[in-house]
Amino acid sequence: MIIVHLTLWCWFIALAVMTLWSYWLVPTSAMAEWWQAVVYILAPATTVASGLVMLKEYGLRSLPGKIFLTITLGIAGWWVGEILWTYYELIAKTDPFPSLADLFYLVGYIPLCGGLLWELQFLRHKTRKPLPYTTRLLLVLLGILFSGVALYFGVVQAIKPDYSVLENVVAMIYGVADIALVIMGLVVIIVTIEMRGGKFVWPWWWFLFGLLCTFVADIGFAMFTKQYETKYAFYKPTLDTLWIVAYLGMAYGLARFGWLIQSARASIVTSSKRTTLEGR
């Protein structure tokens, strides 16, 4: 187990070094764009791989396994979108917005939000004590604030006079998808806090941290699209780094779920063997 932990952290460090080098240290070098593309594809691939490893531990017949399969499918949609976006931008040399990449990005939101809603129903049965009314109200207000930000910058401000109808529609759908993500994430946060600790709380916090980084990067892109596309100042490296951190945060959360299940099974096996030996 320790070796697996160290291997994953070494992989995260390698991706962090690649991100730092290609985006911040030598962003104008001849191979920088290709290195950026590599890390941008490997980050979501790591998240999908973590989801598949966790599914192996849970099994597809179990309810948690089905839930996390749905969530992993959503992230896989984003991964395919990243691959297609890279192809259009670096190989085909065409504007990737709007394109088939956007279709996979947006379709990915459906199983992701659906999986979070499904997980909510599952966690409700494990809730130990409901939060006080004032705390719930504060979190709801926070959710309304984030949703309002997504509505304004992701939907209203996404409409550009120089964009085609299709471009404006796709841009606004991204804003609506982020609002749905905020609502689902907020509800899972409330239920997670209500669980009052436990080993399975921290993996959720890591996963939700990844979703938060995704939301911030999405809103940042909606606010500074032109600066991002023209690679003005630090807009592109900042937003891309946030998206990469988001994928890695979700990857670590999913990996921790798998480790906890694996550890629990090992403990059961050890306990069973000990009981058998004592019986002899």
136-193 pLDDT tens trace? 889 889 999 999 999 999 999 988 888 899 999 999 999 999 999 898 888 778 777 8
Percent of the chain exceeding pLDDT 70 equals 92
pLDDT confidence bin for 54, thresholds 50/70/90: confident
Q: Is the pLDDT of residue 194 over 80?
A: no
Question: At residue 270, does pLDDT exceed 80?
Answer: no
pLDDT-derived band at 128, boundaries 50, 70, 90? low
The confidence score (pLDDT) of residue 133 equals 83
Residue 269 in this model has a pLDDT that exceeds 80: no
Residue with tokens 């049965």: 125
> Which pairs count as long-range contacts for 119-127, CB under 8 Å and 24+ apart, including other chains?
119/67, 119/71, 119/188, 120/184, 120/187, 120/188, 120/191, 122/63, 122/64, 122/67, 123/188, 123/191, 123/192, 123/195, 124/191, 126/195, 127/191, 127/194, 127/195
Q: Is pLDDT at 217 greater than 90 in this prediction?
A: yes
- Record: fold of 2-279: Rhopdopsin 7-helix transmembrane proteins (1.20.1070)
82 within 8 A of 44, measured Cβ to Cβ:
yes
Owner of token pair 């950026």:
36
Band of residue 79 on the pLDDT scale cut at 50, 70, 90: very high
- pLDDT confidence of residue 277: 53
Confidence of residue 15 (pLDDT cuts 50, 70, 90): very high
Domain layout of the chain by residue ranges: 2-279
